[in-house]
A and B are shown apart, each in its own frame.
Chain A
Amino acid sequence: MPTQALTNRTFVVILLLVSSLAFFAGYELQRSPKNKQLDTQVAEILPKPRTLSNFKLLNHQQQAFNQQSLRDKWSLAFFGYTNCPDICPNTMIVMKQFWKKLSELNIDLDLVQIVFVSVDPKRDTIGLLKDYVSYFNTDFIGVTGDMSEIEKLTQELEILYGYEEADKATGNYIVNHSAQILLLNPAAQLHAILPPPHDAGIITADFITIKSHYEN
């Protein structure tokens, strides 16, 4: 019967329409603000912020720098060494620009800290680190300490580093190291990763996006 065939076909078409509508509705629902991944430019937000076990390091003023030091403020942490000629100073300059942008945006700088952790404690003494970080900004914090404590912290943060053989003529050695900036939230948890190359404008935008989402 032709009419019956037509009805069947209409039914199939309607079924297809309804199911595709449902599919897209579900897709949209998934993209709705509640479930949607935050719209950052470069920051990779951890699905679940990572709590760190305690560690015992020193800041450039010879005071203890531990898990507690990361509490109640946002921290941007970078791992490197003072004799790094390129990636470290360039990242510090980006941090300096980021700091300036935050103050221009009237963000309370007491609630943010910039931390430079040395992965070359043998050469980076506290005195040297102090001169190094304060050259860029007197608010920045230099951190160093026992190799074993640095190892523990970097492992939890998935920061890698390795030493090259010293040059025979100059005694200088290169330290290869990860170049991401880590963003830790006021609960002292690793919250997001900012991969290189670094740009102060992008970091500022991503930081504000993440911070305001966290506060809501």
Chain B
Amino acid sequence: MKTRILPTLLLKLSVILSLFITSNALHATELLHIKKAYSPEAPPVVKILAGYMELHNPTSKDIVITGVSSPDFEHVEIHSMVMRDGMMHMDRQDTLVVPAKGQVNLEPGDLHVMFINKLKSFKDGDHIPLTIQMGKQSQSLSLPVRKSE
């Protein structure tokens, strides 16, 4: 009897362990190293906020960002900013490639996360949750809201 229990137990353990690893791989993988993430505090009347950060790809494969989302906003997009015909244009980026061993910076006057129509208010010291989708994988972070001086 005892000899039979041990393999069953081991099997159960390995199933639990593999489940744990899989769930980890699906939810908590940190594909990108994200640095200096923040969102500038905006006047309370403003419903649209910006997010900036450095995206570092330590892997040897390009990482393609396919979407961004936040529960605190109706909609979130990645935008580029370009001067065209004498005007600053914001262009939605449906995908954003972070090259292998490379880096992409989202910064003022350039690429940014655009948080559209806030569902709650944010002030200096608060955090904005953000999930970055990379195909089937995703990565979450929170951007501290900072007042610019």
Which residues in A have some Cβ–Cβ distance to B below 8 Å?
82-87, 89-90, 93, 96-97, 128, 131-132, 135-136, 160-162, 167, 169-170, 172, 174, 176-179, 196-197
A174–B149 Cα gap in the complex (Å)? 26
Write out the residue numbers on chain A whose beta carbons fall within 8 Å of the beta carbon of B74.
169-170
Interface pair A176/B87, CB less than 8 Å apart: yes
A86–B89 Cα gap in the complex (Å)? 11
Please tell me if B48 contacts chain A, counting CB pairs below 8 Å: yes
Write out the residue numbers on chain A whose beta carbons fall within 8 Å of the beta carbon of B108.
86, 90
A82–B63 Cα gap in the complex (Å)? 34
Which residues in B have some Cβ–Cβ distance to A below 8 Å?
40, 42-50, 74-75, 79, 81, 83-90, 108-109, 112, 114-117, 148-149
- Chain B minimum-CB-distance residue to A93: B148
Q: A169-B75, A170-B117, A172-B117 are in contact. Are A87 and B88 (CB under 8 A)?
A: yes
A-B contacts at CB below 8 angstroms, number: 87
A128–B115 Cα gap in the complex (Å)? 19
Interface pair A89/B42, CB less than 8 Å apart: yes
Interface pair A172/B44, CB less than 8 Å apart: no
Interface pair A196/B88, CB less than 8 Å apart: yes
Interface pair B45/A89, CB less than 8 Å apart: no
Interface pair B75/A178, CB less than 8 Å apart: no
- Chain B minimum-CB-distance residue to A128: B45
Q: A170-B117, A179-B88 are in contact. Are A90 and B109 (CB under 8 A)?
A: yes
Interface pair B87/A167, CB less than 8 Å apart: no
- Contacting residue for A86 out of B50, B75, B87, B148, CB 8 A: B50
Interface pair B81/A87, CB less than 8 Å apart: yes
- Chain B minimum-CB-distance residue to A97: B149
B104, chain A: closest CB distance, angstroms: 16
A26–B75 Cα gap in the complex (Å)? 63
Interface pair B43/A82, CB less than 8 Å apart: yes
- 5 A-B pairs with the lowest CB-CB distances in the bound complex, closest first: A135-B43, A85-B50, A176-B87, A131-B45, A179-B88
Write out the residue numbers on chain B whose beta carbons fall within 8 Å of the beta carbon of A176.
84, 87-90
Write out the residue numbers on chain A whose beta carbons fall within 8 Å of the beta carbon of B86.
160, 178
- Contacting residue for A82 out of B46, B81, B89, CB 8 A: B46
Interface pair B44/A86, CB less than 8 Å apart: no
Interface pair B112/A86, CB less than 8 Å apart: yes
A78–B79 Cα gap in the complex (Å)? 22
A132–B81 Cα gap in the complex (Å)? 22
Interface pair B45/A196, CB less than 8 Å apart: no
Interface pair B45/A85, CB less than 8 Å apart: no
Q: A131-B43, A170-B74, A170-B116 are in contact. Are A85 and B87 (CB under 8 A)?
A: no
Interface pair B48/A172, CB less than 8 Å apart: yes
Write out the residue numbers on chain A whose beta carbons fall within 8 Å of the beta carbon of B79.
86
Interface pair B43/A160, CB less than 8 Å apart: no
Write out the residue numbers on chain B whose beta carbons fall within 8 Å of the beta carbon of A170.
74-75, 116-117
8 contacts between A and B (CB under 8 A): A86-B50, A86-B108, A87-B88, A131-B43, A132-B43, A135-B45, A162-B87, A176-B84
Most central of B44, B46, B88, B89 by chain A CB within 10 Å: B88
Q: A85-B50, A87-B109 are in contact. Are A160 and B44 (CB under 8 A)?
A: no
A29–B40 Cα gap in the complex (Å)? 50
B43, chain A: closest CB distance, angstroms: 4
A128–B48 Cα gap in the complex (Å)? 14
- Contacting residue for A85 out of B48, B83, B84, CB 8 A: B48
